[in-house]
Amino acid sequence: MDFRKLPIRNLVRRPGRTATLVLLVLLLSFTMFGGALTLLSIRGGTKSLEGRLGADVIVVPSEMASKVNLDNVLLMGTTGSYYMKADILDQIRAVEGVEKASAQLFMASLRASCCSVAVQVIGFDPEEDFTVQPWITRSFKRGLGDMEVLVGSRVSTEVGGNIRIYEKDCRVAGRLESTGTQMDTAVYATIDTVRTLIKAAEDLGHDLKLPGDPSELVSAVYVKVSDGASADNAAGYINGHIRRTEAIRTKNMLTDVSDSMAGVSFVMTILIAAVWLLVFFLILIAFLMILRERKKEFASLRVLGASSGMLSSMVFRETAIISFTGGLAGIALACLIVFPFSALIEKMLDLPFLRPAAGTIAGLAVGTLVMCMITGIIASAWSAYKLGHVDVSMILREE
């Protein structure tokens, strides 16, 4: 037999105790890994959101602003079909402090025979856009041609295939990386393409209640102010001087998001700390309890020539096996829950949720495992020391 496997023999011989300890560590690793993963996903979602919201001010038609929850529209990427005159863009560009302004045009396809999928179509200006363009450039390098679309990560149509919108075929030129928002379910095209599609819809008899010819309409204008200029002033000016528009400061929205993120972070951190403490003390107590029962066994091994170091390391190896097994199981369980149900978690927390890169997840898993092992080893350190240094002379006086 292999005596390096003595710790395993010990663990197998007491299945109840071993299972309890493994479950405790599982609880710890599940909370740590699951919690950290959720936090990182939210942080990732918010980060990508901040990047996309490179705009300081968003201008939308005023009737739009009063109708829907703008936070949702702009943060989660939900769009609607609302329109204003395209010349507003020039007026905005003329406002003092405005460095860049670019327009987007939205429309929606229908779940009907004219369209292969019901999606939001977002038209942007590849030359001027600074909100979605940087994100798009990451996965799609060349320019977007006429009647070409890019699909969000959750749109099922394959790259190279066609999407039919109001009986017009649009070629899918590429797929965009995931953002964790509803932008992932949308389709992106040039403003001109979207105008063609809007015309096609009208030709098919759909009344989109357009306030003018599609070629003269936009849905939203994204504004970046120059360094040193005040976004509040620019928004105020637009609200005061450009009719039938509503200018919204994006910072306020982001503050809301960071506030709720801070709240979730705080709760998570407290939860992880509480579980850690609980598990630490339970393991500590479990080992103190077995300290008494195992004194004799260790004294016997000591008498047979085992050194204190050998015995302490035997206890540590038992702990390491328990921590490793429990840690791994907890991580696996967290993966099984967090990944398939990320949409549900996103809904519950009402925050954008973007799964971190595989490398980050792997790092997180390793970190969690290490934490579990350290916790187990610290919690059993006292018992390991005591068992290693058990008083051998008592063995002759034991009854």
Partner 1 sequence: MSLLELKDISKIYGELKALDNVSIHVDKGEWVAIMGPSGSGKSTMMNIIGCMDKPSKGQVFLDGVDISKESSRKLTEIRRDKIGLIFQQFHMVNYLTAVENIMVSQYYHSLPDEEEALEALGRVGLRDRAKHLPSQLSGGEQQRVCVARALINHPELILADEPTGNLDEANENIVLDLFRQLHREGTTLIVVTHDPEVAEAAQRTIVLEHGRVAREIINENFQE
Number of residues that bind partner 1 (CB under 8 A): 25
Q: Say whether residue 387 binds partner 1 (CB under 8 A).
A: no
Q: Say whether residue 358 binds partner 1 (CB under 8 A).
A: no
Q: Say whether residue 16 binds partner 1 (CB under 8 A).
A: no
Q: Do 81 and 194 meet the contact criterion of CB atoms below 8 Å apart?
A: no
Q: Do 250 and 46 meet the contact criterion of CB atoms below 8 Å apart?
A: no
Q: Say whether residue 5 binds partner 1 (CB under 8 A).
A: no
Q: Say whether residue 19 binds partner 1 (CB under 8 A).
A: no
Q: Say whether residue 137 binds partner 1 (CB under 8 A).
A: no
- Minimum distance, C-beta of residue 318 to partner 1, in the bound complex (Å): 13
CA–CA distances in Å: residue 39 to residues 88, 111, 307, 323: 40, 36, 46, 24
Q: Say whether residue 397 binds partner 1 (CB under 8 A).
A: yes
- Minimum distance, C-beta of residue 298 to partner 1, in the bound complex (Å): 10
Q: Do 180 and 354 meet the contact criterion of CB atoms below 8 Å apart?
A: yes
Task: State whether the Cα torsion 332-336-339-344 is positive or negative.
Answer: negative
- Minimum distance, C-beta of residue 26 to partner 1, in the bound complex (Å): 25
Give whichever of 278 and 306 is closer to partner 1, judged by the CB atom. Answer: 306
- Minimum distance, C-beta of residue 301 to partner 1, in the bound complex (Å): 7
**Torsions phi, psi of 107, nearest 5?**
-155, 170
Give the 3-state secondary structure of residue 1. coil
Instruction: Label residue 24 exposed, middle or buried (CB < 10 Å: 0-12, 13-18, 19+).
Output: buried
Q: Percentage helix, strand, coil, to 5, in the chain?
A: 60, 15, 25
Q: Give the whole-angstrom CA distance, residue 339 versus residue 41.
A: 10
Stretch that binds partner 1, among 94-102, 250-258, 305-313, 326-334 (CB under 8 A): 305-313
Q: Say whether residue 227 binds partner 1 (CB under 8 A).
A: no
Give whichever of 5 and 138 is closer to partner 1, judged by the CB atom. Answer: 5
Give whichever of 358 and 396 is closer to partner 1, judged by the CB atom. Answer: 396
User: In the set 118, 336, 343, 392, which binds partner 1 (CB under 8 A)?
Assistant: 392
Q: Give the whole-angstrom CA distance, residue 387 versus residue 14.
A: 18
Stretch that binds partner 1, among 119-127, 145-153, 198-206, 299-307 (CB under 8 A): 299-307
Give whichever of 192 and 297 is closer to partner 1, judged by the CB atom. Answer: 297
Q: Say whether residue 210 binds partner 1 (CB under 8 A).
A: no
User: In the set 197, 284, 306, 370, which binds partner 1 (CB under 8 A)?
Assistant: 306
User: In the set 265, 308, 313, 325, which binds partner 1 (CB under 8 A)?
Assistant: 308
Give the contacts of 369 (CB within 8 A, at least 6 positions apart).
29, 323, 324, 327, 328, 331
Q: Say whether residue 303 binds partner 1 (CB under 8 A).
A: yes
- Name the residue among 192, 191, 201, 195 with its Cα closest to residue 214: 195
Give the 3-state secondary structure of residue 100. strand
User: In the set 156, 160, 304, 340, which binds partner 1 (CB under 8 A)?
Assistant: 304
- Minimum distance, C-beta of residue 367 to partner 1, in the bound complex (Å): 35
- Minimum distance, C-beta of residue 43 to partner 1, in the bound complex (Å): 49
Task: State whether the Cα torsion 58-62-64-70 is positive or negative.
Answer: positive
Task: Please compute Rg for the chain using Cα positions.
Answer: 31
Q: Give the whole-angstrom CA distance, residue 180 versus residue 160.
A: 24
| Cβ-based neighbour number of residue 254 at 10 Å | 16
Q: Say whether residue 297 binds partner 1 (CB under 8 A).
A: yes
Q: Say whether residue 118 binds partner 1 (CB under 8 A).
A: no
User: In the set 137, 226, 255, 307, which binds partner 1 (CB under 8 A)?
Assistant: 307
| Both structure tokens of 226 | 């120059």
Give whichever of 270 and 392 is closer to partner 1, judged by the CB atom. Answer: 392
User: In the set 25, 299, 354, 372, which binds partner 1 (CB under 8 A)?
Assistant: 299
Looking at residue 117, the DSSP 8-state letter turns out to be S
Q: Tokens 């759909």 correspond to what residue?
A: 206
Q: Say whether residue 168 binds partner 1 (CB under 8 A).
A: no
- Minimum distance, C-beta of residue 282 to partner 1, in the bound complex (Å): 24
Interface positions with partner 1 (CB under 8 A): 1, 3, 9-10, 13, 296-297, 299-308, 310, 392-393, 395-399
